[in-house]
Amino acid sequence: MSGDARNILRALLIQPRLRWQDPAENRAQLEAQVDQALENSDGVDLIIFPETFTTGFLGDADREPESMDGDTVAWMADVARRRDAAITGSVVVGEDGARFNRMLLVTPEGDIHHYDKRHLFAYGGEHKRYTAGTRRVVVSYRGWRICLQVCYDLRFPAWCRNQGDYDLTLFVANWPGKRITAWTALLIARAIENQAYVIGVNRVGEDGNGIAYPGQSAAFDALGEELASLGDDVASGIVELDLEALKDVRDELPFLADADRFRLEI
């Protein structure tokens, strides 16, 4: 477990307008957004960026992928240490000759966890460029069990299913405007069916392929009630999650105990 256990987890959602294929500029603007959001706050435990936050979705064409020893991971570790908060979001990472859409979670203590996106978006050609992940990842951090998920994973409830092993699911995304109704509906569904907090962080603006993104980053509690929503422009927001309140819901409504048992084949 990383860090001291905390009943209240304070999470900062960062909804940016990403620059196409410009990692250095994206890192700079994301850090500026964090600085502004935390200027008059008491700090947070977790900072969440969108999917492929250095390049935009499929924005790594004609670029070498980053490595785990590269600039972005080092920058995340530095920001995490200075802000005493874990940093998470996905980056295109190259490893052993393959490319992964890799969600990183870097703690203030320097621990680096990662989850490789399982469900590649074949409709957009993502499967032609990246290798799919094969393992589900739950990170223990400050007394919370956090499940890492990326964008298209949201559509697959069996993969997201709570096996009694997480309290919070994070979905980082580049989710387009044409299907934004599904984004919100599925975030709520994942929260209710898994009796867990759910946070989804999306981006805004248009990417280099002409696809528009409407934001709508949001957080929901285990009953599907909205805790935060960031609208359709560049924004940030802090949400407080209460572990005791979550346990009370599960005790009062022990629905997970009645879930069907099955084995997921990968």
Question: Which active-site residues does the annotation give?
Answer: 51, 117, 151
* Tokens coding 63: 């670029």
Closest CA to 61 of 90, 40, 36, 92: 92
Pairwise CA distance, residues 32 & 223, whole Å? 34
The count of C-alpha atoms lying within 13 angstroms of the C-alpha of 96, restricted to the half-sphere facing its C-beta, is 2
By three-state DSSP, how is residue 117 classified? coil
Residues, the chain = 266
Q: Dihedral (C-alpha) 107, 112, 117, 118: value to the nearest 10 degrees?
A: -110
- In Å, the largest CA–CA distance within the chain is 53
Alpha-helical regions (H) of the chain: 23-37, 71-83, 157-160, 180-194, 243-252
231: left (phi over 0), alpha (psi -120 to 50) or beta: left
* Tokens coding 236: 């940030």
